[in-house]
Chains A and B, each alone.
Chain A
Amino acid sequence: MAIMKADKLGVSVAKGPSLMTGAVPKKDWPDVEAIFKPGNYAYPAKKEMMEYHSQKTFPNHPGLFGEPRDWDPEADDWKLPENWKEIILNGIKERLDKFRSLKIFMDCCVRCGACADKCHFFLGTGDPKNMPVLRAELLRSVYRNDFTLGGKILGKIAGGREMTFGVLKEWFMYFYQCTECRRCSVFCPYGIDTAEITMMGRELLHLVGVNINWIMEPAANSNRTGNHMGLQPHTFKDNIIYLCDDIEEITGIKIEPTFNRKGAEVLFITPSADVFAEPGIYTAMGYLLLFHHIGLDYTWSTYASEGGNFGLFTNNEMMKKLNGKMYAEAKRLGVKWILGGECGHMWRVVHQYMDTMNGPADFLEVPTSPITGTRFDNAASTKMVHISEFTADLIKHGKLKLDPKRNDHRIATYHDSCNPARAMGLIEEPRYVLQNVVNNFHEMPENTIRESTFCCGSGTGLNTDEIMELRMRSGLPRANAVKHVRDKHAVNMLSCVCAIDRATLTSLMNYWNPDVEVCGVSELVGNALVMEGEKERETGLRFEPLAGMEG
């Protein structure tokens, strides 16, 4: 690389292509090429993974994922099928007919710009193609060119763009720089759900075999063993038993949960990360303590052993298939209703799609808490209740014995996980729970929480380490708000109700605010619960000393 004089550097940057994305500010956006470099893209799916999906996940749906192959995003040849353009255009046509929302979203945007500065990817990068309006325009321009009269006649003048390899590259870059968090939708006067545009973009890319491994491998694991982690039944069970051993060491209470038990009243489903990965396992210990505390008649399932659904980030066929096990297992076990753990996108799938895709669950009852008698009419159609709703109801009825002082070593704040907050309106329940289990709690600024919450920056299957830099900049708006309460109130614990958050916010904090830890709300519940017959607690669920027990 030529050595430039210092005073020319700024100019060269402003006029030359950015080294990572190729974003050139002085050109019109359609003329800016997407350039793939190490660190700005997630690795493509392994060939054997796609062979697995073709042969095992969808043996009767040829073409859903293109031809399995090894390919390199940095290469000029992506080994696409010869008729890839035709496949994409047919795919758009099929989806315009099938999904009315897509047709509306393609037509009704007036480019008012209300969404432009609301995306965490845009705020962290300044890249105009990360403005939701422009990201959608990547697809909309092709729609205009080939599916509207104006575009067919006037082409570029009407905002149309021909589908080219360059456009396909842009799609792969920017539809994987959107976490489908839907913050932009909150500000759109027309209610355009940009997440659905990204979903369609990714579906179309799959048709020609353009995909990422971090999504396709967990999806394959999920299809094979029931969960993303690929845990087989005995391992899933063993891990929970290990957690029970830890609980016994900390509290003196022996918990013996049941698995795949027919006739249980409630089936409990949570992300497999809660069973296997830190810090999710502490959240799972919280669940175990809570259920033991109230004597809930429930069972775990080693088949429906995953709440998350990477199908949501793939295509609607995959989402439906991976979700199917929830109702299937509930029916097989003969439970009355389903209780769901702390997960983010699981709740978008459950709340907005499950009933349509795999319902009606008429073999289940409208969930009623056996402890308080509360009937959860909000879950009358899905028959599935969120753990925070369930816990808040228990607290409201005085059914839990809590000692919030046991969380006095924590100064907490709460991150509204995108999907529970914006896709199912779960906003007050976790806060009510937190008010009752921690003494030190501080909210982040209003425009960064509740419906306006900022994404962790790594959702929708982007939580892979090869794009760590990208994740750190897209997570900046969230980290920036955490920094504020850390500096002002000495906050040291970021609580949330999402398994991906628990993993990714941990990395985000490691970079931006290293002294802030991350936990699930149920972990703090578990710490505070006073169990009958317990020994004096000296540590929290992480074996960390409680306040006053440090010595």
Chain B
Amino acid sequence: MLLQELLIENKGEILEAWVDQVLATYPEDGARIFKKEKDQFANPVGYAVKNSLWEVYTLLFEKNETAKIVAALEQMVQIRAVQTFAPSEAVSMAYTLKRVVKSVCHKEKVADLEGWQAFEEKADILAYTMFDLYAVSRERLYQTRIAEIKSGNHITTDGGCPSKLMDKNIAPKAELKTINV
């Protein structure tokens, strides 16, 4: 059997294991609920993980799929970029897929070197894309923080009395304090 056939025939099993292993990166009690709840609004994390992985899996068999891969992975990576993962854990999903597929190959006794090379190339594209999306998300997070500081919201605590800010001698000092936050 060729690897591609295996990936298509065992799609259900592979995806289930992939989703389960990605959700297992969350605390056990949380992961249980993330796996169970089907409503996308009552369970945004579980839904995004499942949806992203299912969508991206079908793209493994398509050509010229870069934009679609980005769209499929965006929400999941954006979520993981603000959760309590180390960066490598946050985007570890492509490696998880390789592990799952290896295990199914082993079980089905499939040895298709060419097929594996093609699959690995695709999996690597997923890994690079997730890395890029992660970096974009973190950048956006910092931009969000900067925008909030610039909006004047921080004056509640860091600027002293806004009335005093009108005094030009004090304003630069207040600004410096903001940068140090």
Contacts and interface: CB of A to CB of B under 8 A. Distances in A.
Interface in A449-473: 463-466, 468-469, 472-473
A278 B151 contact: yes
B52 to A, nearest CB: 13
A476 interface: yes
A128 B141 contact: no
Contact of B163 (A214, A235, A463): A235
A465 B27 CA distance: 26
Interface stretch (B31-39, B61-69, B112-120): B31-39
Given A465-B154, A476-B45, A127 B27 contact: yes
Contact of B84 (A20, A481, A512): A20
A230 B82 contact: no
B85 interface: yes
B157 A217 contact: yes
Contacts of B22: 10
A468 B37 CA distance: 27
Given A25-B31, A469-B82, A507-B148, 18 more contacts: A9-B92, A13-B85, A23-B84, A24-B27, A25-B30, A123-B44, A125-B83, A229-B156, A230-B163, A235-B163, A277-B152, A278-B151, A445-B41, A463-B153, A464-B157, A465-B149, A503-B153, A511-B144
Contacts of B27: 18, 23-25, 126-128
Contact of A480 (B41, B98, B141, B161): B41
Interface string A141-181: 00000000000000000000000000000000000000000
B84 A468 contact: no
Nearest to A49: B157
B53 to A, nearest CB: 14
A550 to B, nearest CB: 24
B105 interface: no
Given A123-B43, A466-B181, A277 B37 contact: no
Contact of B42 (A19, A117, A125): A117
B162 A476 contact: no
B78 interface: yes
Interface in A110-135: 116-117, 122-128, 131
A40 B82 CA distance: 11
A18 B147 contact: no
Contacts of A116: 33
Contact of A10 (B41, B92, B166): B92
Nearest to A26: B28
B26 A510 contact: no
A473 B144 contact: no
A107 to B, nearest CB: 24
A interface secondary structure, majority: helix
17 contacts: A7-B98, A9-B89, A9-B95, A10-B89, A13-B85, A25-B30, A117-B42, A126-B27, A230-B160, A276-B152, A445-B41, A468-B145, A476-B44, A503-B151, A506-B148, A506-B151, A510-B147
Interface string B61-105: 000000000000001001100111110110010011011000000
Interface of A: 4, 6-7, 9-10, 13-14, 18-21, 23-26, 40, 116-117, 122-128, 131, 213-214, 217-218, 221, 225, 228-232, 234-235, 273, 276-278, 445, 447-448, 463-466, 468-469, 472-473, 476-477, 480-481, 483-484, 503, 506-507, 510-512, 514
A428 to B, nearest CB: 21
B interface secondary structure, majority: helix
A481 B156 contact: no
A512 B82 CA distance: 11
B14 to A, nearest CB: 16
Nearest to A29: B29
B26 to A, nearest CB: 4
A153 to B, nearest CB: 29
A499 B176 CA distance: 27
Contact of A477 (B44, B99, B155): B44
B37 A117 contact: yes
B58 interface: no
B10 interface: no
Interface in B162-178: 162-163, 166
Contact of B147 (A217, A445, A507): A507
A128 B30 contact: yes
A123 B83 CA distance: 11
Contact of B45 (A123, A225, A228, A278): A123
Contact of A6 (B42, B45, B95, B145): B95
B154 to A, nearest CB: 7
B25 A14 contact: yes
Contacts of A127: 27, 30
Given A228-B156, A503-B151, A472 B30 contact: no
Most chain-B CB neighbours within 10 Å: which of A7, A10, A125? A10
Contact of A126 (B26, B89, B152, B181): B26
Contacts of B28: 14, 25-26, 128
B144 A510 contact: yes
Nearest to B24: A14
Contacts of B141: 468-469, 472, 511
Nearest to A310: B156
B151 A277 contact: yes
B85 A465 contact: no
- List 6 A-B pairs, minimum CB-CB distance, nearest first: A126-B30, A20-B84, A126-B26, A25-B27, A128-B29, A6-B95
B30 A232 contact: no
A131 B33 CA distance: 11
B99 A7 contact: yes
B125 to A, nearest CB: 16
B140 interface: yes
B4 interface: no
A230 B166 CA distance: 13
Nearest to B86: A19
A507 B152 CA distance: 13
A125 B144 CA distance: 20
B145 A117 contact: no
Nearest to A215: B157
B173 to A, nearest CB: 16
A229 B162 CA distance: 7
